[in-house]
Structures are given as structure tokens and as C-alpha cells.
Amino acid sequence: MPQHTDSRKEGEHSPIKKKFKESAPSISKADLDSAILAGVKQALAEQRAELNSIVTAAVKAALDDVLLPQISDLRMQLKNTSDTITTTTNQVEGLERSVQRLQSRCDSTQSAARHDRDQVNAMRLKLDELSAKLSEMEDRSRRSNLRLIGLKEGQEGDDCIGFLKANLPIWIPSLADRDIKIERAHRLYTDKATSNNAQSNTARPRTIIFKLLDYTDRQAILSGARAVYPVKHRGDTLHFFPDFSADITRKRKAFTDVRKRIEALGIQTFLLFPATLKITYRGRQIYCRSQLDAEHFVQSLTPRVH
């Protein structure tokens, strides 16, 4: 109760009510309260507007001091990123154009390489063909030549032709009644042969090559030498071989090792011209045109032998 009494007293002594009482004694209490309420609302509205102004200013200041610099930085970063992306895009497009040019060049190069490879293959075939023809021509020019291996250096003296004509009938009796005509004869020259080792008894003697005027004499010497093998001269074994070109000689020499293994098994072999090994086995003829063919024959034969 005292609190309500005090409030009533304060209301009664209010300057506003006092003013209203003095100016308009006829205003009722309800009108006075309405006027007071309107004043309070007006004061609150003014305070709210002022508060809004203060808050707006504070927010704006915060935006200006904190957010706007960050937004500016973000904008700058975005611009830099955009510029970088644009630059990268241009570089990628340039690389794509370069790759396309390289691809075009690569395609052209591959096409040219295929063309060149075809030409090289054609030229290789032509070269092989020409080499074969050259070897054939060379072998034809050597058709009447023979090689004599095993005769010691100096045995023939200064007249190699006369020495051969005198001794061929002795070495090969089947030639006794045959007039062997020799066009030329000499020892092969090699880098390893010198005047010192030519006179040495331990040095390997150089091959004698001689050309016969008649091809039939060549065949008679070869067949006669095989018939009386081994041919001997003062204790040395002599060997007679046809004279072939380097290419044919290489191909024939490739059969040497495998031929020795086959003959060690008691099987007869014969080397045909130009480079074919004929094997006589169990009454049938087997022809090996390469060293590999001969190796296969030995592999198929070995289990039976053992």
C-alpha cells in the first residue's frame, strides 16, 4: 500500500499533470493518462530512431573498417585468379595448337618413315638380288679355279705351274695320262704372311690358288683327290678345294662344325654348290640348305644313336 500511495503522490505532483491542471482544469484523468502515454511513445520512438542511427553508424563503421578491406582483398584475389585462369587458358590453347601441329608433323613423319621403310626394303631386296648376281658372276669367273692347302712354303720353288703339273699325277694317279693345262698359279697374299714366317717350318702355309684352262680338269682333280684321300707330299696332307667367292665361302664354312659331328657318327656328307649339305642316311638323301637345317637333323638323330 505505501508504494501505491507514493506513486499516486508522484503522479499528483507530476509537472505534466500540474501544467495540465493549471492550463486546463477541465481535462479528465483519462485524457491526461492518454497524453502521458502518447508522450512516452513519442520519446521511445525518438530513442529507437536514435538507437537505429547509432547501430547503423556502428555497423557501417565495422563494415568500412573490417569487411570492406577483406572484400577488396577478395576482389583482388578473384581478379588475380581470373587473370591467372585466363593466362593458363591461353597457354593451354597454345599448347593444344602446338600439339596439333606436332601431331600433324608426327603423322607426316610416320607416313614418310613408312614410305622410306618400304623404299629401304625394296632397295634391300634389290641389293640382295644384285649381290646374288655378283656372287654368281664371281663364282663363274672362278669356275675353273682350285685351292691347294697344306703345301709348305717354298716347296713349289720359282715355278709354281711347273711344280703342280709335275706333281699332280704323282699325288693323284688317275691324272697320269691327262694333260693338265694350268693358266696361272700363285700363293695367296695375306697381311700375316711375311718374308720371315714364309720360310718358317712352323708357320701355317699360305693357300695356293691355280686356274685350269679346262673345267673338266678341275673336276678330275677333285674327284681323284677324294678317291685317294689323304693326298700326301713329304709327310704333309694336301687338300684340294673349289675356289668360291667370299659370300659362298662363308655360307659353306658355316657347315664345318655340324658336318664334323655328323661324319663322326659314321654318316656320309657332301657339300653341294653353292652351299647345300647332302647327307646320305639309311639309303636316302637329305639336303640341308642352312646350318640350322643340319642342326635339326643332328638333334633328331642323336636320341637314336644313344
Residue that finishes a domain, picked among 59, 75, 91: 75
Hey, is 180 helix, strand or coil?
coil
pLDDT (0 to 100) of residue 193: 44
Give the type of residue at 247: D
185-226 pLDDT per residue, tens: 999 886 554 444 444 455 789 999 999 999 999 999 999 999
pLDDT (0 to 100) of residue 300: 83
Q: H helices within 13-67, ranges in order?
A: 15-23, 29-62
Q: Which three cell numbers stand for residue 59?
A: 555497423
Q: How confident is the model at residue 166 (pLDDT cuts 50, 70, 90)?
A: very high
Name the pTM for this structure: 0.52
Q: Which three cell numbers stand for residue 91?
A: 597457354
Position 135 in a domain: no
Question: Using CA atoms, how far apart are residues 256 and 262, in angstroms rounded to an integer?
Answer: 10
Which tops the pLDDT comparison, 75 or 148? Answer: 148
Position 84 in a domain: no
For residue 251, the enclosing domain spans 245-306
Q: Does one domain contain both 190 and 216?
A: yes
Which tops the pLDDT comparison, 68 or 296? Answer: 296
| Cβ within 8 Å of residue 98, ≥6 positions away | none
Q: Does one domain contain both 213 and 289?
A: no
| Cβ within 8 Å of residue 291, ≥6 positions away | 254, 255, 258
Position 113 in a domain: no
Position 44 in a domain: yes
Position 119 in a domain: no
Position 88 in a domain: no
Q: What is the mean pLDDT of residues 124-139?
A: 84
CB 289 within 8 A of CB 276: yes
Residue that finishes a domain, picked among 243, 260, 283: 243
Beta bridge partners of 198: none
Q: What is the mean pLDDT of residues 30-53?
A: 84
Q: Does one domain contain both 7 and 32?
A: yes
Query: Which residue has cell 573490417?
Result: 66
Residue that finishes a domain, picked among 203, 222, 243: 243
Question: Using CA atoms, how far apart are residues 43 and 295, in angstroms rounded to an integer?
Answer: 123
Q: Does one domain contain both 148 and 239?
A: yes
Q: Does one domain contain both 25 and 63?
A: yes
Q: Does one domain contain both 233 and 293?
A: no
63-100 pLDDT per residue, tens: 777 777 878 888 888 888 888 999 999 999 989 898 98
Decide if pLDDT at 147 tops 80. yes
Position 103 in a domain: no
